[in-house]
Amino acid sequence: MSREDIARLLGGYATGTLTPEEQQALFAAALEDQELFDELAREQALRDVLREPAARAQLLAALEDRLPWYRRFGSWRVSDGMPSPATLAALAACLLVVGALAIWRPWHQNELPQPSAVATELPAEAPATPAAPAAVEQKGAAIPSTTPAKARTLLPPPLLPRAIELQAAPPMKKELLAADAASSAEPRQADLPAAAAPPPVNPATPQKPQIANQTAAADTILAGRDSGERMKIVPGPGAAGALQSAGAAAGTTAAISAFSTNGTQPSGAIAIPPGGARQLFYAGSAVAAQKEATESKRFNAAVRALGSQAALGIKWSILRLVPGGEYAIVNAEDLRAGDTVKLRFASNQSCDLSVFDNASALVPLFTGHVQAGESLDSPPLSPWRKGLRQLAVLLARGGVTAGTLTRMPQAQSQAQQSETDRGEQATYTVGPADTPQVSLLITLNYQ
Amino acid sequence: MQRDEVLAKLRERIVRFAASHGSGDAAEDLAQEVLLLLHEKYAHLERVEDLLPLSFEIVRFKMMSWRRKSARRGEYTQVSVTDIPLPDLEPNPADQLERREMLERLTRAVAQLGDRCRQLMRLKLQGKSFAEIQQAMGAGSLNTVYTWDFRCRKNLLELMGGDWEAKP
């Protein structure tokens, strides 16, 4: 063995990996070579540590731990030898995705402005849809109504699917322009006319969509659109009623949408796509609704009235103290024993919040008041050993009382919906619409 | 190789090692103390495979002890070599603290290693020999494993800041 070959055995000394022959070769060479002797002497510190079984076990545990994907990215080094083809493929895929997003996002944002209108998905035969005083028959894009589906009453999360509106926009735009022109000459009505049922839809025959100029403004209703991501834009003044009627008409489907003169949704309404707890959370947000409709006082009043009955929801995230004294949002599975952790809560309505440690014994941790749309951080939780830690959270519209505490198990068993958004690293939990409290369990998994 | 021959070479290597690691004038004394201990306490050991690791261990303990004493009082040179007691090789609280700190640094460093190095390190800590590691990792030859291990050790040492022990 040459000196270089023997030097490669150095790494085996500390871990006791060397066979007697390898050891003998290494030691004999070290006695002759001062440089090798020095390196070997420096390895002694590592050898002393690795001789302890507990230390070995700790290192093995560190090696067994699966790193989060973002840390594994950092550990893909060429110095280990060549990166594997899988690593190169993963890097290439990531670059492609990032490139595609970089191109798509600006385009998407330019093409699709955020919705500012109330929308519900209504059944074709929904009786509560306000009738259009001067309905304009849509001549283009006649899209048949399809089988009934769940009606939804939801407020939009930040991103909404709007491909269908885009497809249908050009033919509708003419009609809407006409409707807008006509409406601008007419005085705005104080109240909407009584709701009337749209004509029944025959699934066998394609039905032309209708545009209703309801308030002599830009707010319109277009009925009879495609079944994929259908929406209805409910005129501003009738928003609350429409939302409620849509909720009541669960199980049916209508294809309704509307566009303002620039081809986007009218500003006085809120678009409501189908979705889970996250969207329900925003649907129940009176604050968000008011923000969306600052131009319409009547709409605000309707939303306020709706707000008291809308589903109470909570959005929560876990924050961990990171070097530098800052807190960063982390996934629940990324916690380590001894981490200093806080919880961040946001509610869609103003309410009181209580957090209890040890869900079975309900040890109070803290109580606070959450304003709608604002977030509230808990005080730092005491560090925890390795294992699970369960916290109980109670959100109550009328304040946390002994009664609300006793109803906690009942509230948990009610039809609450929960959804975790990996992108936001937040979980949404929303209770039934008519329930004044929501309670949930948060399990922290300290690794 | 005979014991006397081994000890003679050891002495030379230890003096140079100690001299290059800051012990300066005390290098000769250090080597002398190591040999004294090997002679008095470990006279039954003959083979280089036994003597060399043991002498490394004694050198390390003595150097740590001298460094601490020097930093604390700056007076180790005032103590006669003959007055220095034979060291207790059991770890004292200071040793234990240093060892724990080193283990923590090591734990953080191994977690940053690449996949191959982590696998290699895991197998080594499980007590596998290089031949067994070759089989487990499907390497073409034993030399390949030696090379991987050499690179991984270098990588780990870099992650530890160039030295296994924290610099004082």
Domain match, A329 and A291 both? no
pLDDT given for residue B155 in this prediction = 92
CB A3 within 8 A of CB A33: yes
A22 touches chain B (CB under 8 A): yes
Quick one: tokens of A130? 């306000």
pLDDT given for residue A64 in this prediction = 77
Residue A341 or A160, more confident: A341
Q: Which residues are paired to A343 by β-bridges? A: A318
Residue A130 or A66, more confident: A66
Q: State residue A301 phi and psi, 5-degree precision.
A: -60, -40
Domain match, A54 and A182 both? no
CATH number of B93-159: 1.10.10
Cβ distance A48 to B115 less than 8 Å, yes or no, reads no
pLDDT given for residue B168 in this prediction = 59
pLDDT at B149 over 90: yes
Domain match, A300 and A171 both? yes
Cβ distance B17 to A41 less than 8 Å, yes or no, reads yes
pLDDT at A126 over 70: no
pLDDT above 90 coverage of chain A, percent: 2
Q: What are the pLDDT digits (tens) for A280-317? A: 777 766 544 554 444 445 444 544 544 445 778 888 88
pLDDT at A434 over 80: no
Give the HSE-up count for residue A61: Cα atoms under 13 Å, Cβ half-sphere.
Answer: 9
Across chain A, what does the average pLDDT equal?
63
- CA nearest neighbour of B113 among A82, A57, A80: A80
CB B33 within 8 A of CB B84: yes
Domain match, A289 and A170 both? yes
**Coil, strand or helix at B115:** helix
B144 touches chain A (CB under 8 A): no
Q: Enumerate the residues of chain A whose CB falls inside 8 A of the CB of residue B153.
A: 10-11
pLDDT at A127 over 90: no
Q: What are the pLDDT digits (tens) for A147-168? A: 343 333 334 444 434 433 444 4
Domain match, A89 and A234 both? no
Cβ distance A17 to B133 less than 8 Å, yes or no, reads yes
pLDDT given for residue A58 in this prediction = 87
Name the minimum distance, in Å, from the CA of B141 to any CA of chain A: 13
How far is the C-alpha of B87 from the C-alpha of A207, rounded, in Å? 98
pLDDT at B135 over 90: yes
pLDDT given for residue B120 in this prediction = 93
Between the CA of residue A138 and those of A143, A259, B104, what are the distances in Å? 10, 13, 72
Residue B107 or A183, more confident: B107
Domain that holds residue A286: 118-198+206-307
Cross-chain CB nearest to B9 (options A24, A31, A80):
A31
How many folded domains does chain A comprise? 4
A29 touches chain B (CB under 8 A): no
Cβ distance B49 to A24 less than 8 Å, yes or no, reads yes
Which residue, of A249, A283, A307, is where some domain finishes? A307
Q: What are the pLDDT digits (tens) for A92-123? A: 888 889 888 888 877 666 665 555 444 444 44
Between the CA of residue A187 and those of A117, A181, A192, A295, B143, what are the distances in Å? 21, 12, 13, 17, 90
pLDDT at B21 over 80: no
Under DSSP, the state recorded for A227 is S
User: Lowest mean pLDDT: which of A243-252, A395-404, B74-83?
Assistant: A243-252
Domain match, A332 and A257 both? no
How far is the C-alpha of A365 from the C-alpha of A357, rounded, in Å? 6
pLDDT at A76 over 80: no
pLDDT given for residue A342 in this prediction = 87
- CA nearest neighbour of A283 among A118, A422, A438: A118
pLDDT at A195 over 90: no
pLDDT given for residue A369 in this prediction = 84
- What is the secondary structure of A349-417 as a DSSP string? S-EEEEEEESTTT-EEEEEEEE-BT-EEEPPPBPP--SEEEEEEEEEETT---HHHHHTHHHHHHS--E
pLDDT at B88 over 70: no
- What is the secondary structure of A161-192 as a DSSP string? --HHHHHHHHHHHHHHHHHHHHHHHSPPPSSP
Interface of B with A in 12-71 (CB under 8 A): 13, 16-17, 20, 48-49, 52-53, 56-57, 59-60
Which residue, of A249, A279, A307, is where some domain finishes? A307
A74 touches chain B (CB under 8 A): yes
The residue of B7, B102, B122, B164 whose CB has the most chain A CBs within 10 angstroms, and thus the best one to mutate to test that interface, is: B164
Name the minimum distance, in Å, from the CA of B68 to any CA of chain A: 16
User: Lowest mean pLDDT: which of A71-85, A368-382, B58-72?
Assistant: A71-85
pLDDT above 70 coverage of chain A, percent: 45
The residue of A1, A34, A59 whose CB has the most chain B CBs within 10 angstroms, and thus the best one to mutate to test that interface, is: A59
Interface of B with A in 97-126 (CB under 8 A): 99, 102-103, 106-108, 110-118, 121-122, 124-126
Residue B100 or A411, more confident: B100
User: What is the pTM for the complete model shown?
Assistant: 0.39
When pLDDT is cut at 50, 70 and 90, the band that residue A213 belongs to is: very low
The residue of A19, A44, A71 whose CB has the most chain B CBs within 10 angstroms, and thus the best one to mutate to test that interface, is: A44
Domain match, A268 and A123 both? yes
Residue A259 or B99, more confident: B99
Between the CA of residue A222 and those of A159, A212, A293, A413, B111, what are the distances in Å? 22, 7, 20, 39, 58
Under DSSP, the state recorded for A434 is T
Mean pLDDT of A167-172: 42
How far is the C-alpha of B139 from the C-alpha of B30, rounded, in Å? 43
When pLDDT is cut at 50, 70 and 90, the band that residue B121 belongs to is: very high
pLDDT given for residue A137 in this prediction = 42
Cβ distance A45 to B56 less than 8 Å, yes or no, reads no
Q: What are the pLDDT digits (tens) for A354-387? A: 888 766 667 777 788 888 878 888 888 877 778 8
Name the minimum distance, in Å, from the CA of A19 to any CA of chain B: 7
Under DSSP, the state recorded for A148 is -
pLDDT given for residue A86 in this prediction = 64
Nearest chain B alpha carbon to A49: B99
The residue of B2, B50, B52, B64 whose CB has the most chain A CBs within 10 angstroms, and thus the best one to mutate to test that interface, is: B52
pLDDT at B144 over 50: yes
pLDDT given for residue A437 in this prediction = 82
Q: What CATH number does residue A372 fall under? A: 2.60.40
Domain match, A298 and A158 both? yes
Which sequence spans correspond to the domains of chain B?
Answer: 3-83, 93-159
Cβ distance B59 to A23 less than 8 Å, yes or no, reads no
Domain match, A137 and A252 both? yes
